[in-house]
Amino acid sequence: MNAMTYKGYMARVEFDSDDEIFVGHIAGIRDRVGFHADTVADLKEAFYEAVDDYLETCAKTGKTPQKPYSGKMMLRVSPDIHRKAAIAAELAGKSLNQWSEEIIEKAVKRKEPSTA
């Protein structure tokens, strides 16, 4: 996975073959915060600096830093998937919300980058 984590913020990273640099952006916030570097070690440092700078800038301007997500999700699925999920939750003895959270958590843990 092309992602990094620092202080609860994650970044998506890509390689720009034209400029031969790694380019990243903090994910999950409305503000556009980017960074880049030539090496993986420098990229990690640039990401940390970008997050720290974002938090410092918010503090200086009196703006509350955006947290990546609220914890509320609304999904639209087909009626058949909804029915199957509701039955699976009931058979597991859980609410659809509890069951869905566990399934999503298992899926993302398989793809989660290491944290700093």
- pLDDT, residue 113, reads 60
Which two three-digit tokens encode residue 18?
Answer: 């034209």
- pLDDT, residue 77, reads 93
* Chain segment 31-54, per-residue pLDDT in tens: 999 999 999 999 999 999 999 999
* Chain segment 54-64, per-residue pLDDT in tens: 999 999 999 99
Q: Give the angle 3-104-5 at the CA atoms, nearest 5°.
A: 20
CB 38 within 8 A of CB 20: yes
DSSP state at residue 100: H
Which two three-digit tokens encode residue 45?
Answer: 């440092």
- pLDDT, residue 68, reads 66
Q: Residue 4: which of 41, 31, 32, 30 has the closest Cα?
A: 41
| pLDDT under 70: residue ranges of the chain | 1-2, 68-70, 112-116
